[in-house]
């Protein structure tokens, strides 16, 4: 089963890469039909990705959410899922050209990690692990979408010269709304992640909050998005300022995931 997962993973990586190129061709060629092709390839990759993760779970005999590789591939999966949802919901195919490189980079990061299946240390053998990590995947995916929409928002004026993009990218008000719609599930699921993590930590380590770097950075991320939500209901701060916070927020997400794991030792650095 793990061999199947390995093969599928390679096909998924190729699919995401081809989808990214197809989205670029769509923007360059300005032909709407290409966007459907790119979207179709992305959906194909996503379906195979889902099967690959299921195979990994069956092969490992547990939830495949416990090491750097498993979380990275799940992160890419969550990002792909949320991007598909938002592309369909808002018929915003141009977003694919912006988010597919992020998905590809994340799956590329997963490919660089060890795929070895190791038995779990006692602290990781908890039902809370599933809730904690799966909610993080959805939260991070949603924040990834808000990051991309935030970038598009900040570039919106410069893209006016590009007639095709100007026509196919929603106006700033709509972009702000899409960004908010992606931050909303993000912060909700991040709150779930933090609370389930705290419950798990209390049972495993005897302390629900220890200012571990991962905990601290997830709090920083939460604060950034809480600030985002507050900014949006203040006149003059909605729009650009909120978009800046959406971008900063996802940078914090990436640091919480990659930076903290590699730079700041703590109980989350399972070596």
Partner 1 sequence: MSAGKRFLRFISSMRFAIILLVILAIMCSIGSLVTQNQSYSWYAARYSERTAALIIALHLDDAFHSWYFILITAFLCINLLFCNIIRLPGLVKRTRNGGTLRERLGIWGAWITHVGVLLLILGFGLGQFTHKEYVAYGVPGQTMAIGDTGLILTINDFRIDLRDDDTVEQYTSEITVYDIASGSSGKSASVSVNHPADIYGLRFYQNSTGWAARVTVDKGGEALQDTIVCAGDYLVVTDKPDLVIYFNAFYPDYVLVSGYGPATASGKLNNPGYLYSVYYQGQILGMNVLFSGEVLTIDDYSVHFSEPQSYTLIQIKKDSFTALAFTGGIIILIGLIVSLYVRPRKVTDKQTGGEDASS
Cα–Cα dist 23/26, whole Å: 5
Would you call 90 exposed, middle or buried from its count of C-beta atoms within 10 A (0-12, 13-18, 19+)? middle
- Candidates 25-33, 54-62, 68-76, 215-223 — which segment interacts with partner 1 by CB under 8 A? 215-223
Nearer to partner 1, 158 or 235 (CB): 235
CA dihedral over 78, 95, 37, 103, signed as positive or negative: negative
Nearer to partner 1, 163 or 205 (CB): 205
CB of 100 to partner 1, least distance (A): 27
Asked if 198 is part of the footprint of partner 1 (rule: CB under 8 A), the reply reads: yes
Residues across the chain: 271
What is the distance, to the nearest Å, from the Cα of residue 7 to the centroid of all Cα atoms in its chain?
23
Task: For the chain, state the CA radius of gyration.
Answer: 19
- Candidates 27-35, 109-117, 158-166, 233-241 — which segment interacts with partner 1 by CB under 8 A? 233-241
Secondary structure letter of residue 189 according to DSSP = H
CA dihedral over 83, 87, 88, 94, signed as positive or negative: negative
Cα–Cα dist 115/165, whole Å: 40
Among 204, 175, 205, CA closest to 94: 175
Asked if 90 is part of the footprint of partner 1 (rule: CB under 8 A), the reply reads: no
Q: Which of 31, 36, 89, 125 binds partner 1 (CB under 8 A)?
A: 125
Structure tokens at 168: 């196919």
Asked if 202 is part of the footprint of partner 1 (rule: CB under 8 A), the reply reads: yes
CB of 14 to partner 1, least distance (A): 34
Among 240, 134, 136, 257, CA closest to 186: 136
For the segment 138-177, give every residue that binds partner 1 (CB under 8 A). 173, 177
Q: Which of 89, 160, 162, 230 binds partner 1 (CB under 8 A)?
A: 230
Q: How many of the chain's residues bind partner 1 (CB under 8 A)?
A: 50
Binding site for partner 1 (CB under 8 A): 118-119, 121-123, 125-126, 173, 177, 180, 184-185, 187-188, 191-192, 194-195, 198-200, 202-209, 211, 213, 216-217, 219-220, 223-224, 226-227, 230-238, 260, 264
């Amino acid at each position: 089963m793990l061999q199947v997962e390995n093969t599928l993973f390679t096909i998924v990586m190729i699919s995401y890469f081809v989808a990214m190129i197809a989205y670029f061709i769509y923007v360059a060629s300005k032909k709407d039909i290409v966007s459907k092709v790119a979207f179709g390839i992305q959906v194909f990759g996503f379906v195979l990705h889902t099967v690959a993760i299921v195979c990994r779970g069956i092969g490992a005999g547990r939830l495949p959410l416990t090491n750097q590789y498993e979380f990275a591939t799940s992160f890419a999966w969550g990002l792909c899922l949320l991007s598909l949802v938002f592309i369909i919901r808002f018929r915003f195919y141009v977003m694919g050209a912006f988010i597919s490189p992020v998905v590809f980079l994340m799956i590329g990061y997963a490919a660089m990690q060890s795929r070895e299946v190791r038995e779990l240390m006692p602290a990781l053998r908890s039902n809370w692990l599933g809730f904690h990590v799966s909610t993080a995947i959805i939260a991070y995916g949603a924040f990834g979408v808000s990051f991309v929409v935030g970038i598009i928002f900040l570039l919106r004026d410069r893209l006016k010269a590009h007639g095709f993009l100007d026509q196919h990218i929603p106006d700033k008000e709509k972009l702000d709304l899409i960004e908010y719609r992606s931050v909303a599930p993000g912060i909700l699921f991040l709150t779930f992640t933090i609370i389930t993590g705290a419950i798990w930590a209390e049972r495993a380590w005897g302390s629900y909050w220890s200012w571990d770097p991962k905990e601290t950075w997830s709090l920083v991320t939460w604060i950034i998005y809480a600030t985002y939500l507050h900014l949006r209901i203040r006149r003059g701060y909605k729009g650009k300022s909120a978009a800046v916070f959406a971008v900063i927020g996802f940078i914090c997400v990436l640091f919480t995931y990659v930076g903290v794991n590699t730079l700041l030792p703590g109980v989350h650095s399972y070596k």
